[in-house]
């Protein structure tokens, strides 16, 4: 087996900014809170969250014999990013692809020393409670906006997990540091961030831009995602910068002007959105969001 120190060193060589270890035991308290959230209907149209909700908080449901969850995070923040029409996470390549590749390399590194190790790679593609596990592994805490926040990197982080059937000593959980700050709550234009630490997804602009075609709201100039609650967070004022080249270069859509986006036909859009966060945004919704973001007149 590789040592934790060797795994950390290898992960950092892959531009993985944060890595932590935790056990694979069920997260019972988080599962109960999640069930209450579902029963309140705050998931909106994300009906897949309702399937096997208890399994979401039990890593062993995804990998038989699971003992450890290796949690990783990669920063996507860069001061030079200038794509005003999309949230920062959508600026470069799709993070699901990037982190899955990095975790595959970590797994290959583990198998060089332990060929029989069994593992499961998760990058928001499996029913797994990523943020509670990242907190438990010491990567950061869940802020009032429900995002994972780290002292050094703020909340500009993409998360991924590697579940393995080997036991490693767990790291210490992170402690909440939001204190009495309510900046994100007060800045949210739709009141999606609740005072009890939960998010009403139906009101969230990020959710609306991705899933809701009926809500006639103002997307505040952004056609995919929303960074308002992150932009006002004190921990995001001077975060350490992204090192990952895949996130530092604009993709074909974030590198385009509003005029070029408006002129795209469906064929061109489909070609440009591959391996980007826009791959989850159908063309019809993309066009609708251009209107809701104030970038295109309704009649165009």
pLDDT single digits (tens) 44-96 = 989 888 888 778 999 999 999 999 999 999 999 987 766 679 999 999 999 99
Between CA 224 and CA 226 the distance in angstroms is 7
8 Å CB contact between 111 and 96: no
8 Å CB contact between 173 and 132: no
Beta strand pairing call for 141-142 and 18-23: unpaired
Tell me what the mean pLDDT of segment 129-134 comes to: 97
How confident is the model at residue 106, as a pLDDT? Answer: 98
How confident is the model at residue 21, as a pLDDT? Answer: 98
Tell me what the mean pLDDT of segment 200-228 comes to: 92
**Mean of per-residue pLDDT scores for the chain:** 94
Task: Using DSSP, state whether 119 is helix, strand or coil.
Answer: strand
pLDDT band at 214 (very low <50, low <70, confident <90, very high): confident
How confident is the model at residue 83, as a pLDDT? Answer: 66
Question: Residue 275: which residues within 8 A CB-CB, separation 6 or more?
Answer: 93, 94, 97, 251
pLDDT band at 284 (very low <50, low <70, confident <90, very high): very high
8 Å CB contact between 117 and 165: yes
Cα separation of the two ends of the chain: 60
pLDDT single digits (tens) 237-276 = 999 999 999 999 999 999 999 999 999 999 999 999 999 9
- Nearest 5°: phi and psi at 119? -150, 160
How confident is the model at residue 52, as a pLDDT? Answer: 80
pLDDT band at 120 (very low <50, low <70, confident <90, very high): very high
How far is C-alpha 199 from the geometric centre of its chain's CA atoms? 15
Beta strand pairing call for 18-23 and 148-149: unpaired
How confident is the model at residue 300, as a pLDDT? Answer: 61
Q: What is the DSSP letter of 55?
A: G
Report the percentage of the chain scoring pLDDT > 90: 89
Cα torsion 129, 135, 137, 139: sign: positive
Tell me what the mean pLDDT of segment 114-120 comes to: 98
Between CA 224 and CA 245 the distance in angstroms is 21
Structure-token match 């895949």, residue found: 246
How confident is the model at residue 82, as a pLDDT? Answer: 62
Question: Residue 91: which residues within 8 A CB-CB, separation 6 or more?
Answer: 76, 78, 81, 83, 247, 250, 251, 254
Q: What is the DSSP letter of 193?
A: B
Whether the pLDDT of residue 279 is over 90: the answer is: yes
Owning domain of residue 137: 1-300
Between CA 140 and CA 155 the distance in angstroms is 9
Q: 22: part of which helix (H) or strand (E)?
A: strand 18-23
Tell me what the mean pLDDT of segment 140-159 comes to: 97
Catalytic positions, please?
124
What's the token pair of residue 228? 């308002």
Tell me what the mean pLDDT of segment 217-244 comes to: 95
Cα dihedral 190/196/197/200 (nearest 10)? -40
Structure-token match 């509003």, residue found: 258
How confident is the model at residue 198, as a pLDDT? Answer: 93
What's the token pair of residue 280? 């989850």
Q: How many structural domains does the chain have?
A: 1
Whether the pLDDT of residue 176 is over 80: the answer is: yes
pLDDT band at 126 (very low <50, low <70, confident <90, very high): confident
**Residue 5, CA distances (Å) to 56, 168, 169, 241 in order:** 29, 11, 12, 23
- Nearest 5°: phi and psi at 162? -125, 110
8 Å CB contact between 220 and 187: no
How confident is the model at residue 298, as a pLDDT? Answer: 84
């Amino acid at each position: 087996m590789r040592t934790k120190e060797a795994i950390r060193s290898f992960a950092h060589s892959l531009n993985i900014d944060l890595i932590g270890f935790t056990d694979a035991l069920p997260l019972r308290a988080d599962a109960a809170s999640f069930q209450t959230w579902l029963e309140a209907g705050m998931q909106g149209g994300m009906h897949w969250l309702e399937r096997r909700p208890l399994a979401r908080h039990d890593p062993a449901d995804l990998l038989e014999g699971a003992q450890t969850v290796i949690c990783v995070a990669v920063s996507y923040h860069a001061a030079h990013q200038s794509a005003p029409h999309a949230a920062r996470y959508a600026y470069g390549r799709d993070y699901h692809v990037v982190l899955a590749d990095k975790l595959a390399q970590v797994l290959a590194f583990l198998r060089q020393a332990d060929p029989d190790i069994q593992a499961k790679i998760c990058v928001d593609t499996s029913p797994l409670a990523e943020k509670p596990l990242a907190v438990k592994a010491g990567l950061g805490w869940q802020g009032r906006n429900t995002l994972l926040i780290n002292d050094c990197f703020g909340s500009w982080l993409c998360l991924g997990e590697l579940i393995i059937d080997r036991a490693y000593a767990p790291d210490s959980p992170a402690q909440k540091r939001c204190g009495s700050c309510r900046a994100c709550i007060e800045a949210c234009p739709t009141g999606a961030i609740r005072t009890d630490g939960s998010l009403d997804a139906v009101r969230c602009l990020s959710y609306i831009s991705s899933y809701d075609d009926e809500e006639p709201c103002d997307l505040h100039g952004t056609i995919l995602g929303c960074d308002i609650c992150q932009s006002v967070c004190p921990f995001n004022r001077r975060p350490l910068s992204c090192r990952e080249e895949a996130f530092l270069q604009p993709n074909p859509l974030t590198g385009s002007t509003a005029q070029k986006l408006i002129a795209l036909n469906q064929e061109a859009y489909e070609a440009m959105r591959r391996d980007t966060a826009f791959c989850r945004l159908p063309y019809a919704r993309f066009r609708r969001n251009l209107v809701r973001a104030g970038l295109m007149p309704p009649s165009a």
